Structure 1
Amino acid sequence: MTAPTTVNLTKASPTVSLDKHGVTSGLIKVNLNWTSPRAAASTAAGEARGLFGRIRASMRSAAARDVDLDLGCMIRCTDGTKTVVQALGNAFGAVDRFPYVALDADDRTGALATGENLVVNLDHQSEFQKLLLFVYIYDGSGDFRGLDAVVTLTSDRGDRFRVLLDECPPQAHACAIALIKRQKGELVIEREVRWFTPQDGSGVQDVISRAYRLGMKWTPGSK
């Protein structure tokens, strides 16, 4: 058995075959990690030296924005069933029963070292036609610039597939991260990093699902 590997999915090399890496069953964890501007400023304030340095750092910390990113997964099954796993509406899913995808936590600040995590049960991959991983700003101003957001998919044995959420355009507050789907008989991860700036009146989930022709219907939710 080959040793676990780390693959960075980029514009130049956007697709990786899970089959070729021997990742065809078990659980695969999807981790979202980012740095909240307020958390970064708070850390800097704690490390500042001198009275005036601490005062300036504290002022920057107080002015820094808080950002709540939400990781989710839109699921289209081979039988035509469609659903979503996300914190909004408390649709946390389940690993051992339908939809075989689950969200384990909701990091509201970006300060948690573990970030947010989704788990996909590949033992039921035959029931999946398409899994679309996405993220959006649930609460907070601005866009993704400066958040250093990265998504890492890790297999049971330690293979890592990384997607950096870079090149965010101004005001974009949602991103289709990657697709997990069948391609030429193999299960693949395909980097998307497609940015969205929904207009007023359209929810980000609706805009993303229409862009990918998932045919999903949405109702307002909260968390």
Structure 2
Amino acid sequence: MDFGIERVTLDKRHHTVSLTAQGALTGTMQVNLHWTARAPEPSRPSAREMWRRLLNPNPFKPVELTSAASEPLAVDLDLGCMYEMTDGSKGVIQPLGPYMGDLQHPPYIKLSHDDRSGAPTGEMMYIDMDKRDQFKRLLIFVYIYDETPAFDRTHAVVTLFPTAGPRIEVRLEERAAEARSCAVLLLQNRGNGEFTVSREVRYVYGFQAELDRLYGWGLQWQRGYKPVGG
């Protein structure tokens, strides 16, 4: 999806941008997660398959090989946000459990829907920047739902669409084969009207609770499941 031409890509060298400087502190900011499956890499034949080739009685008839690399990839990435308000309240927005959020009431953050297939629209979250004085910090993260391939099997992009200035993009391109979650962006109210966005891209091998410990959020976590067909 494309909401405009101007774009800022945050990377290891240029990792922080000021929303204040670009006048993007009002209105509803959109956060989009979009992903596609990486093309499967060809796998090397096993020793058993090599022997089958050598012992093939008809050298002109190819041996049919099975390869996991040819199987379709089922990828289910989820977008989430841990929030900490200036009054000390904390919580999470995510598509597990009753935590889709609320744009009209605290925490003024809402997840639109849960995309399970990497559709062109992806997953969208909305943040009311008119309530920015009530935000202390927001951690935008992505995690992989249970029993799906890891980050090295996808091309994922998280993009912020402020109401003013260029869109802000972070690509999750590291081959973190065993990681299950990734802290992507940290939005911080630094006081005196300064609000910044910083690239994190920190992969962890666990789920939200491990991200919580990494950033010292202090929430209580329990196992959650998505409704069947939801």
**What interval of TM-score do these two structures reach, taking the shorter chain for normalisation?**
0.7 to 0.9
Structure 1 unmatched ranges of 5 or more: 42-55, 199-203
The 5 Å alignment of 1:31-180 reads 31-36=32-37, 63-110=71-118, 112-157=119-164, 159-180=166-187
Alpha-carbon distance in structure 2 between the residues aligned to 1:101 and 1:146: 29
* AA aligned opposite 2:212: S
Count of aligned residue pairs for this structure pair: 197
* AA aligned opposite 1:23: A
Q: Secondary structure at the match of 2:208?
A: helix
> Offset of 1:159 from its aligned partner?
2.6
Q: Partner residue of 2:16?
A: 15
* AA aligned opposite 2:94: Q
CA RMSD of superposed structures (Å): 2.2
> Offset of 1:169 from its aligned partner?
2.3
* AA aligned opposite 2:170: V
Could you report, residue by residue, the CA deviation over 1:101-134 in whole angstroms, capped at 9, with x for unpaired residues? 0000101111x11000111100111111110000
* AA aligned opposite 1:170: A
Matched, 1:219 2:227: no
Alpha-carbon distance in structure 2 between the residues aligned to 1:128 and 1:166: 29
Cα 1:93–1:197 change in 2 (3 A) is same
Structure 2 unmatched ranges of 5 or more: 41-63
Q: Which runs of 4+ in 1 moved over 6 A?
A: 59-62
- State, as a whole percentage, how many aligned pairs show the same letter: 40
> Offset of 1:90 from its aligned partner?
3.0
Higher helix proportion, which one?
Answer: 1
Q: Partner residue of 1:205?
A: 208
Alpha-carbon distance in structure 2 between the residues aligned to 1:88 and 1:147: 21
> Offset of 1:222 from its aligned partner?
1.8
- Which structure would you say has the larger Rg? 2
